[in-house]
């Protein structure tokens, strides 16, 4: 291959690499946008379920109970519990939290409190029922979106997966045990248990599963990045073949 051909090949490969870097940066940005959107939807959903006052999921019942006896806001209790859970996972289970885990812990508390401030309580049953349905849907969809962004699990999932790695117990058994425990403690502390608790238990997982399938390909940048990576790999193989054929 002459000097001109080698120069053209080098420019082509550098251009491909630059395109790959731009795609990767755009994809990471899109993942963060999706992550933050998912966290926001999740937190607003939790606030709607709380305002429905028809019962909530196990962890929300636990947070409500703690809020009742400590005088702290629900959002602040959520942050404190999240911090303690992350600390327990790191110290006891050697489970290092991701950046998304920490951001999750901090943001959800603030957004829940802000949403509770903006969403007023209702006295009649119909708007409360609508709050409950909308809250469960938003909670499920938001959870699916932030999971698909793949920037770190939530604090409770961080602890759950750490316990699974240490004990080899099934994830389902650990999750069920954790949720039953916090539900019982939350109810004992005065957290609201009701039809919403049953609805959340039956529907949230189904909604998360369905929404994860719909939101799995968050942006076209994922496919673009993979395509450029294939081109770079092919260029690398061609370069290797050329070098091996050189006397």
pLDDT digits (tens, 9 = 90+) for 147-192: 888 888 889 888 988 898 889 888 888 888 999 999 999 999 999 9
Residue 247, pLDDT above cutoff 90: no
Q: What is the mean pLDDT of residues 199-213?
A: 87
Greater confidence (115 vs 220) lies with 115
Domain boundaries, the chain: 22-217
Question: Residue 4 above 80 pLDDT?
Answer: no
- Asked if the model's pLDDT at residue 212 lies above 60, the reply is yes
Summarize the confidence of residues 94-98 as an average pLDDT: 85
Cα three-residue angle 145-100-90, rounded to 5 degrees:
130
Cα gap 148→213, rounded to integer Å: 9
- For the stretch 35-73, pLDDT in tens is 999 999 999 999 999 999 999 999 999 999 999 999 999
Contact 74/113 with Cβ under 8 angstroms? yes
Which of 84, 69, 63, 49 has its CA nearest to residue 196?
Answer: 49
For residue 11, what pLDDT band results from cuts at 50, 70 and 90? low
More confident call, 97 vs 124: 124
The per-residue pLDDT of the chain, averaged, comes to: 83
In the prediction, which pLDDT does 109 show?
95
Q: Which residue has the higher pLDDT, 185 or 225?
A: 185
Question: 236 vs 20, 223, 232, CA distance in Å?
Answer: 14, 20, 6
**Cα(212)–Cα(50) distance, integer angstroms:** 24
Global pTM? 0.79
pLDDT at 227 over 90: no
- Closest by Cα among 150, 137, 152 to 106: 152
Tokens 């790695």 correspond to 165
Residue, of 102 and 222, whose pLDDT is higher: 102
Q: Is the pLDDT of residue 24 over 70?
A: no
Residue 89 pLDDT > 50, yes or no?
yes
């Amino acid at each position: 291959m002459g000097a001109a051909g080698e120069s053209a090949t080098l420019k082509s490969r550098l251009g491909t690499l630059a395109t790959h870097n731009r795609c990767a940066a755009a994809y990471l940005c899109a993942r963060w946008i999706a992550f933050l959107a998912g966290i926001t939807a999740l937190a607003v959903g939790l606030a709607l379920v709380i305002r429905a006052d028809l019962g909530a999921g196990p962890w929300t019942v636990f947070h409500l109970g703690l809020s009742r006896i400590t005088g702290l806001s629900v959002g602040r209790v959520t942050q404190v519990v999240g911090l303690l859970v992350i600390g327990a996972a790191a110290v006891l289970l050697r489970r290092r939290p991701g950046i998304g885990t920490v951001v999750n812990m901090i943001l959800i508390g603030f957004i829940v409190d802000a949403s509770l401030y903006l969403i007023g309580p209702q006295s009649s049953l119909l708007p409360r029922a609508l709050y409950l349905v909308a809250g469960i849907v938003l909670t499920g969809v938001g959870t699916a979106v932030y999971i698909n962004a793949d920037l770190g699990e939530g604090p409770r999932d961080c602890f759950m997966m750490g316990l699974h790695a240490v004990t080899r117990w099934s994830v389902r058994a650990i999750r069920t045990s954790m949720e039953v425990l916090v539900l019982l403690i939350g109810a004992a502390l005065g957290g609201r248990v009701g039809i919403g608790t049953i609805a959340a238990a039956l529907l949230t997982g189904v909604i998360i599963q369905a929404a994860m399938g719909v939101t799995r390909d968050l942006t076209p940048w994922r496919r673009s990045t993979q395509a450029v990576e294939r081109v770079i790999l092919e260029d690398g193989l061609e370069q290797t073949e050329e070098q091996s054929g050189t006397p």
